[in-house]
């Protein structure tokens, strides 16, 4: 049985990130959820108030033989705008912040180096505001959030936000 590693990333709406990462080689599963807050087992409605301090995130389970944390972070910088504070497009609030959660010192070091390299690359006009924190706990989101794009490809958000993002990244 293969051993999988995991990564927890937040970059706006978890539906968008989930749709991107499920298409990457070596990614075995992606689970939408919440992290970084002060409420146990939060609901979507609670997180949307901004009062729980949770971010919408995804948990990526990946095969470390086929991909790695560095590659996942390269896609992270490409698939959202890490220079906007608490916002991605029309999604506004602290739950949409750009954040990398690390699970060990190696991931912490990789995350900081990746952010520094992305910030100095000249790709972004403004400074990167992505937060980097130790993961305390990940809470899976409610079932209806899982595989949202796959289950609802014709929903408005999918049609006007997710699909164009996938097309721009040449993933669809």
Residue 81: strand, helix, or coil = coil
Burial 62-73 (b: 16+ CB within 10 A, else e): beeeebbbeebb
Cβ–Cβ < 8 Å for 76, 11: yes
Largest Cα–Cα distance in the chain? 44
Torsion from C-alpha of 6, 137, 143, 46, nearest 10 degrees: -140
- Distance between the two ends of the chain, CA-based, in angstroms? 30
Does the annotation count 13 as an active-site position?
yes
Choice among 13, 16, 79, 158 that is catalytic: 13
Closest to 80 in 3D by CA, of 161, 128, 11: 11
Q: Which residues are catalytic?
A: 13
């Amino acid at each position: 049985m293969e051993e999988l590693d995991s990564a927890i990333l937040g970059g706006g709406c978890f539906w968008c990130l989930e749709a991107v990462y499920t298409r990457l080689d070596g990614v075995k599963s992606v689970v939408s959820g919440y992290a970084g807050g002060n409420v146990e087992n939060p609901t979507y409605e609670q997180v949307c108030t901004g009062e729980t301090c949770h971010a919408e995130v995804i948990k990526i389970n990946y095969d470390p033989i086929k991909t790695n944390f560095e590659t996942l972070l390269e896609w992270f910088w490409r698939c959202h705008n890490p220079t906007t504070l608490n916002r991605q497009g029309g999604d506004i609030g602290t739950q949409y912040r750009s954040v990398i959660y690390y699970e060990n010192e190696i991931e912490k070091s990789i995350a900081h180096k990746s952010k520094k390299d992305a910030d100095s690359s000249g790709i972004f006009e403004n400074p990167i505001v992505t937060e980097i924190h130790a993961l305390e706990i990940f809470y899976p989101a409610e079932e209806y959030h899982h595989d949202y794009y796959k289950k609802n490809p014709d929903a408005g958000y999918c049609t006007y936000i997710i699909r164009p993002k996938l097309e721009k990244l040449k993933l669809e």
